[in-house]
Amino acid sequence: MEAFILNISGKEKGSLLQNKTFVPLDGPIFSINNSSNDKTVNFVHAAWNRFSTEIVAGDCHGFVYIFYLEKNRFSLICRLKTCCSFLTFTSDKTQNILVALSDCSVVSLNLESKEVINHFDHHTSCVNYISFNKSGDIALSCCKDQAILWYLTTFEVFRVLTLKKDVDIMKVFFLPERDLIVSAFNDNSVFLWNFNSFKCTSQFLCTSGESPLNLKAIDASRDEKLLACAGRSNWFLIWSISENKILHTISLPNNISNVKQIQFLPNSNDNHILSVLSSDGIIHIFNIKSMELLFKLTGKNGKIISSCNSTCLFQILSITLQGSLELYDVEEFVTNKKIEPKPKQITSVKPTREDKKILVKQTIKEKKQTGVKMDKERLQSVIKNFEEYPEKYRFFVWSQILDLPHNVDAFKVLHQESLKIKSFVKEYSFLNPGVQKTFLRLMAMLVCWNPLIQEIDYYQCVVFPFIKVLHKNTIMCFELLVTFISNWCQNWFLFCPFPPFNILCVVENILAFHDKELMAHFIKHEISVEVYAWSLLKTSFSEVFNKKQWLKLWDNILSNPLSFQLYTVAAFSIVMRDVLLSCKTFKHFKDCYRRHGISASVLLKKAYQLQQTSPNDIDPQELIGTYASVPKGAYPSFFEMSQMKTDLQTLIRKRIIDHEIHYLKQREDLLDIKSNYLKELQELQILRRKLLLESIELKDADALESLDRKLRSVQNLIQDNLTNQVSMLKGALGEDMFSTDKTGTEKQYFKFQDYMKKIKSK
Q: Which residues face 107 on adjacent strands?
A: 99, 119
Q: What is the pLDDT of residues 533-555, one digit of tens each?
A: 998 998 888 888 888 889 999 99
Distance CA 339, CA 253 (A): 14
Please check whether residue 423 is in contact with residue 449, taking contact to mean a CB–CB distance below 8 angstroms.
no
Q: Which residue has the higher pLDDT, 676 or 113?
A: 113
Of 157, 137, 155, whose CA–CA distance to 147 is shortest? 157
Q: What is the pLDDT of residues 324-376, one digit of tens each?
A: 888 888 877 777 644 333 333 333 333 444 444 455 555 554 544 444 455 56
The confidence score (pLDDT) of residue 327 equals: 87
- Based on the number of CB atoms within 10 Å of its own CB, is 736 exposed (0-12), middle (13-18) or buried (19 or more)? exposed
Q: How confident is the model at residue 148 (pLDDT cuts 50, 70, 90)?
A: very high
Distance CA 595, CA 576 (A): 13
Average pLDDT over residues 116-145: 91
Of 31, 38, 37, 33, whose CA–CA distance to 59 is shortest? 33
The confidence score (pLDDT) of residue 151 equals: 92
Q: What angle do CA 59, 65, 67 make, to 5 degrees?
A: 130
Terminal CA-CA length for the chain: 125
The confidence score (pLDDT) of residue 659 equals: 79
3-state secondary structure of 109: strand
pTM: 0.48
CA–CA distance from 399 to each of 223, 229, 285, 373, 403 (Å)?
A: 41, 51, 38, 11, 6
Q: How confident is the model at residue 106 (pLDDT cuts 50, 70, 90)?
A: very high
Distance CA 81, CA 63 (A): 9
CA–CA distance from 305 to each of 275, 276, 381, 674 (Å)?
A: 13, 12, 30, 104
Distance CA 542, CA 531 (A): 15
What is the torsional sign of CA 507, 513, 517, 520? Answer: positive
Q: Of 17-26, 70-79, 426-435, 688-697, which range is least confident? A: 17-26
497 preceded by a cis bond (ω within 30 of 0): yes
Distance CA 494, CA 156 (A): 65
Q: How confident is the model at residue 590 (pLDDT cuts 50, 70, 90)?
A: confident
Of 265, 315, 308, 323, whose CA–CA distance to 56 is shortest? 308
Distance CA 316, CA 393 (A): 33
Q: How confident is the model at residue 4 (pLDDT cuts 50, 70, 90)?
A: low
Which architecture, in CATH terms, is 376-645? Orthogonal Bundle (1.10)
Distance CA 364, CA 397 (A): 9
pLDDT at 567 over 60: yes
Q: How confident is the model at residue 130 (pLDDT cuts 50, 70, 90)?
A: very high
Q: What is the pLDDT of residues 376-428, one digit of tens each?
A: 666 766 777 778 888 888 888 888 888 888 888 888 888 888 887 766 555 55
The confidence score (pLDDT) of residue 25 equals: 42
pLDDT at 265 over 60: yes
Q: Which residues face 268 on adjacent strands?
A: 271
Distance CA 117, CA 691 (A): 115
Distance CA 88, CA 55 (A): 9
- Sequence ranges of the domains in the chain: 376-645, 650-694+706-718
Average pLDDT over residues 284-299: 86
Q: How many helices (H) and strands (E) does the chain have?
A: 22, 36
3-state secondary structure of 140: strand
Distance CA 537, CA 463 (A): 11
Please check whether residue 41 is in contact with residue 83, taking contact to mean a CB–CB distance below 8 angstroms.
no
Average pLDDT over residues 30-41: 79
Q: What is the pLDDT of residues 451-490, one digit of tens each?
A: 778 777 788 888 888 988 888 888 999 999 999 988 888 8
CA–CA distance from 444 to each of 416, 451, 460, 521, 589 (Å)?
A: 10, 9, 11, 42, 35
Of 63, 139, 126, 72, whose CA–CA distance to 100 is shortest? 126
Average pLDDT, the chain: 79
Helix axes 408-418, 474-487, angle to 10 degrees: 90
The DSSP element (H or E) to which 59 belongs, if any, is strand 54-59
pLDDT at 238 over 80: yes
The DSSP element (H or E) to which 478 belongs, if any, is helix 474-487
The confidence score (pLDDT) of residue 752 equals: 45
Distance CA 123, CA 108 (A): 15
Q: What is the pLDDT of residues 679-730, one digit of tens each?
A: 776 777 677 677 666 666 655 566 667 766 776 776 676 666 666 666 655 5
**CA neighbours within 13 Å on the CB side: how many for 210?**
0
- For the CA atoms of 126, 132, 138, 139, what is the dihedral angle to 10 degrees? 0
The confidence score (pLDDT) of residue 627 equals: 87
The confidence score (pLDDT) of residue 29 equals: 58
Distance CA 177, CA 223 (A): 8
Please check whether residue 143 is in contact with residue 125, taking contact to mean a CB–CB distance below 8 angstroms.
yes
Of 159, 102, 74, 77, whose CA–CA distance to 350 is shortest? 74
From its phi and psi, is residue 372 left (phi > 0), alpha (psi between -120 and 50) or beta? beta
In single-letter form, the type of residue at position 37 comes to N
Average pLDDT over residues 253-261: 86
Q: Which residue has the higher pLDDT, 440 or 721?
A: 440
pLDDT at 644 over 90: no
Q: What is the CA radius of gyration of the chain?
A: 40
Q: Which residues face 76 on adjacent strands?
A: 65
In this structure, the chain runs to a length of 762
The confidence score (pLDDT) of residue 20 equals: 45
The confidence score (pLDDT) of residue 729 equals: 53
Q: Which residue has the higher pLDDT, 733 or 432?
A: 432
How many other CB atoms are there within 10 angstroms of residue 94's CB atom? 16
For 677-737, give the secondary structure using H, E and C: HHHHHHHHHHHHHHHHHHHHHCCCHHHHHHHHHHHHHHHHHHHHHHHHHHHCCHHHHCCHH
Q: How confident is the model at residue 311 (pLDDT cuts 50, 70, 90)?
A: confident
The DSSP element (H or E) to which 460 belongs, if any, is helix 459-470
